Structure 1
Amino acid sequence: MWKCDKCGKEFKNTNQDHYCSEKPKTIDDYISMQSEELWPLLNQIRDTIREALPYAEERISWSMPTYWNKQNIIHFAAFKKHIGLYPGDKAVEHFSQRLTEYKTSKGAVQFPYSKPLPLELITEIAKWCYDSGNHN
């Protein structure tokens, strides 16, 4: 078992990502809880998805920034070495040829901090998720 030095919570995995404090209630809360150096990247993704999905409501779901319109459309989250984008498995499959330089898994894409964010691709993925009805 691993115990967080900050909050004292115990986890099976060493250095497991978690919230030491209260869970975020808004996307602003979520971003402010992350390291300050990540704020510009998280805000870039937020602004990109907001522009792509102007009719979607911003909310927190599964403790992640989420875009919603009658159901969850897409999520994102910050991690130690990457930002995760969660458009769902059908989106990852649909865009697989354009995601070859990124680590993917069923329904998720990892954008490492060491590379520029592919904002145009994120826009296309978000719009595709909404337009196709393949929501996460």
Structure 2
Amino acid sequence: MSKYKTIDEYIEAQPDDAKNRLSEIRKLFHKVLPNTEESIMYDLPAFTVGGYHLYMSGYKNHIGMYPMYGIPELGEEMLPYRGKGTKDALHFKHSEPLPLDLIEKIIKAKDGAG
């Protein structure tokens, strides 16, 4: 059973630095794809895009985004954000601006993948 029932509950439970950034990514999902479906899966906010799920998470020092499986055309752009020792996780440090252009490209790429 999930600790969270809604994405709002999840965001509210996160460290202060993560709250606004998670909300910003969430707004971007809905701006790019107004019919994006939201849910909680694996205790994480999940967005259903093109039949695929994209997840995000909040941590003390970064936001995690999990596009799940590669997006070859964005490989070089995503490389600086690859989580250490992870294949599919992207880490956006709180000390750096969110790469909103890249996140938008990821959303659009996944929408076209379904």
Give TM-score scaled by structure 1 length: 0.73
Q: Which runs of 5+ in 2 are unaligned?
A: none
CA radius of gyration, larger in: 1
Give TM-score scaled by structure 2 length: 0.85
Q: Which residue of 2 aligns with 1:49?
A: 29
1:53-82: per-residue Cα shift (whole Å, max 9, x none)?
211211111111111258442110012221
Of residues 61, 66, 69, the one that matches 2:41 is 61
Q: Which residue of 2 aligns with 1:117?
A: 98
For residues 87 and 37 of structure 2, the distance between their equivalents in structure 1, rounded to whole angstroms, comes to 24
RMSD: 1.8
**Which structure: greater helix fraction?**
2
Q: Is the 8 A contact 1:66 1:72 kept in 2?
A: no
1:102 aligns with 2:78: no
Q: Is the 8 A contact 1:74 1:88 kept in 2?
A: yes
- Per the TM alignment, residue 89 of structure 1 is displaced from its structure 2 partner at its CA by 1.9
Structure 2 counterparts to residues 1-136 of structure 1, below 5 A: 23-68=3-48, 71-91=51-71, 93-104=72-83, 105-133=86-114
**Counterpart amino acid of residue 66 in structure 2:** Y
**Counterpart amino acid of residue 77 in structure 2:** R
